[in-house]
A and B are shown apart, each in its own frame.
Chain A
Amino acid sequence: MNDRQEDEDAAGPSYHRLTVRAVRDETADAKSFVLIPERHETALYRYRPGQFLSFRIPHEVGPIVRSYSLSSAPGTDPDMTVCVKRVVGGRGSNWFNDHLRTGARIEATRPAGRFVLRDNDKPLLLIAGGSGITPCISLIKQALAETGRRVKLIYANQNAASVIYRATLDLLESRFDGRFTCQHWLDDDRGFLTADDVMAAAEGWECADSYICGPAPLMDMTEETLGRQFGGDAVILTERFLSPDDPVQPAVPASAEPVPAPAAASPFVQHAWFRLSLDGEDHSVPIAEGQTLLQAALAFGVDVPSSCTEGHCGTCMAQLRSGEVTMASTRALSKRNIARGYVLACQSTPSSTAEIWLDFDL
């Protein structure tokens, strides 16, 4: 993916060391990097498909920060992977492609970003250009593997040789025949994608959640076109590439701003905070829509026990002393656990307006 400036909070980001387990050539100018956190920091690198990491690169001009989206999905890929495509003159992207080798270590922040699936059953329409496929393929894998949603990808590239993840896309299309279609658009054959092309490809997908990622001109055009075509209720999320080398870019990158903002009036909004008991101490933990209780607690810096985050191991089991949650899976819970009011924090999202109190001191 192209360079994008670090979105730092006031306190500054915290970096952790990742090891490059493997490097794969995707095209002549793009590579995938498989990244492994330190064993004791595995929990810090749980992520949602579509999110990105910000890297502190030891460039010869001095440390520079660049953000690259994860192309992996936790439900389908064993390890985190980012894909980086060279940008002409891009310091970060060229450093990755030229210098980062298997076995090397690099510093990165925890995963972040809001270019993620919304919790509904709507079909997904994704429009990607070039390395903009990176977060999109992560979303596609999650949607196909973990939901029953229909998915359509319109993927624009200059030519066939510049198509990233071609084999994976072909495989997914074959495996999920009827649920996933990938429409390739090659500029060398058909010219640049136009508004009319987008409208034709998007016809029948008016009720979909739309995701756009790619070069700025492509994104501007498709965002405007879909907004016009789908009307005011359309939900369009974008992930923009903003390079620090670009003098016209804003200081803080836009990241997945829905257009317009989702209007769903969920009882969830009542749960801006929840109570968490651990080691005899109480914490008030902020939680955002779509977060599990575990994600919210870890993001807030509470050292709650957790391991697989998939509902298998039972490490994050806690007692729900008040409130109600919906669990995506209860795999690690026995009938005895459920009778005692135990839940899996990694699988739980708020489902009522009652105050939630999660107690880990079992």
Chain B
Amino acid sequence: MKIGTIESIWRYPVKGMRGEEISHVYTGFAGLMGDRVYGVIAADGDPAFPWHTGRDQEEFVLYEASFRSGDALLMPENLDAFEGLAPGIKPVDPSAEAFKVDVKTPGGATNDIDSPEFLADLQETAGRSLKVHMTQKGQHDCRPVSIFSLSAAAKLGEEVGMEIDKRRFRANFYVEWENQDDPYYEFSLVGKNLKIGERLEVAVIERDPRCKMITLDPDTSEESPKLLQHVSRNHGGDAGVFAAVLQEGRVKKGDPIFLT
């Protein structure tokens, strides 16, 4: 049964920085290809959550990260050769070179994220000792795929009394549900499996517990604590859902979402 449509696809090359909208992407067991492969670790960070993010430096959400290889990181090479095989056969990921990232700072400077110049500038701005950390498997807090509906964004805005930019929620898949009665329809999908597009299958594992990141305006980094307060007091602290990948596959904007 079709229950929705992929409205847009987003990935975040650097954990905590601004995301980029992409037209299509391969989604593997570790999440969207290229999603959150970089992160910045603070020397004085909590060992359990050492990441330097907008939580620590609000302007961090204004940094724009992009892959130098462009579209090369959207799909594995020779994907067609793999898609006919059993679900357990994974395609070969792109080479390390494809994961090179450039970052444009709010001040307009663009640097290789691995360059000393980038790190020195960020450390000076943040006022703390930092290091760049990279792994091709993605560095998500909870689950590899996050889903958030436009109806939830609109309803939250109505409830809180402010305009809500969906990008505050930093989801991978923004969706439009067929169900017009429940703006938070995704909550009802926890425990269920979805097929997205022709091949990707995910299990909706849990609601997405939110933190201070959603209080930050993605264009100005100004903070609206009342949004997180409202989510905590009226929605159990949750907004959107997390999913785990059961079968890998490509996804493109406009793909249908089926309940399996």
Partner of B228 from A40, A303, A314, A337 at Cβ < 8 Å:
A314
Smallest Cβ distance from A39 to chain B, in angstroms?
A: 5
- In the complex formed, the residue of A with least CB distance to B57 is A334
- In the complex formed, the residue of B with least CB distance to A315 is B232
Q: How far is the CA of A315 from the CA of B209 in the complex (A)?
A: 11
- In the complex formed, the residue of A with least CB distance to B221 is A336
* Interface residues on chain A, size class: 20 to 34
Q: How far is the CA of A332 from the CA of B211 in the complex (A)?
A: 9
B interface footprint on A283-314 (CB within 8 Å = 1, 0 otherwise): 00000000000000000000101111000111
Q: How far is the CA of A360 from the CA of B232 in the complex (A)?
A: 13
- In the complex formed, the residue of A with least CB distance to B238 is A39
B interface footprint on A37-81 (CB within 8 Å = 1, 0 otherwise): 001101000000000000000000000000000000000000000
Interface residues of B in 193-242 (CB under 8 A from A): 207, 209-212, 215, 223, 225-226, 228-230, 232-233, 236-238
Smallest Cβ distance from B31 to chain A, in angstroms?
A: 21
Interface residues of A in 344-362 (CB under 8 A from B): 360, 362
Smallest Cβ distance from A247 to chain B, in angstroms?
A: 45
Known: A331-B49, A335-B127. A40 touches B236 (CB 8 A): yes
- Whether the pair A307, B212 counts as a contact (CB closer than 8 A) is no
Most central of B127, B225, B230, B233 by chain A CB within 10 Å: B225
Smallest Cβ distance from B42 to chain A, in angstroms?
A: 10
Partner of B56 from A39, A40, A307, A334 at Cβ < 8 Å:
A334
Smallest Cβ distance from A251 to chain B, in angstroms?
A: 38
Is A36 an interface residue when CB atoms closer than 8 A count as contact?
A: no
Most central of B46, B209, B229, B233 by chain A CB within 10 Å: B229
Q: How far is the CA of A237 from the CA of B171 in the complex (A)?
A: 49
Q: How far is the CA of A75 from the CA of B211 in the complex (A)?
A: 18
Is B248 an interface residue when CB atoms closer than 8 A count as contact?
A: no
- Whether the pair B226, A362 counts as a contact (CB closer than 8 A) is yes
Is A154 an interface residue when CB atoms closer than 8 A count as contact?
A: no
A interface footprint on B26-42 (CB within 8 Å = 1, 0 otherwise): 00000000000000000
A residues within 8 A CB of B252?
none
Is B133 an interface residue when CB atoms closer than 8 A count as contact?
A: no
- Whether the pair A313, B211 counts as a contact (CB closer than 8 A) is yes
Is B58 an interface residue when CB atoms closer than 8 A count as contact?
A: yes
A interface footprint on B53-66 (CB within 8 Å = 1, 0 otherwise): 00111100000000
Q: How far is the CA of A115 from the CA of B228 in the complex (A)?
A: 34
Is A317 an interface residue when CB atoms closer than 8 A count as contact?
A: yes
B residues within 8 A CB of A335?
57, 127
- Whether the pair B215, A314 counts as a contact (CB closer than 8 A) is yes
Smallest Cβ distance from B163 to chain A, in angstroms?
A: 18
- Whether the pair A39, B229 counts as a contact (CB closer than 8 A) is no
Smallest Cβ distance from A54 to chain B, in angstroms?
A: 24
Which residues from chain A sit less than 8 Å from chain B, CB to CB?
A: 39-40, 42, 303, 305-308, 312-315, 317, 329, 331-332, 334-337, 360, 362
- 13 pairs of residues in contact across A and B, judged by CB atoms under 8 Å: A39-B236, A305-B230, A306-B232, A307-B210, A312-B46, A313-B209, A314-B228, A315-B229, A315-B232, A331-B55, A360-B229, A362-B225, A362-B229
Q: Which 6 A-B pairs have the closest CB atoms?
A: A314-B212, A305-B229, A313-B211, A305-B232, A307-B237, A362-B225
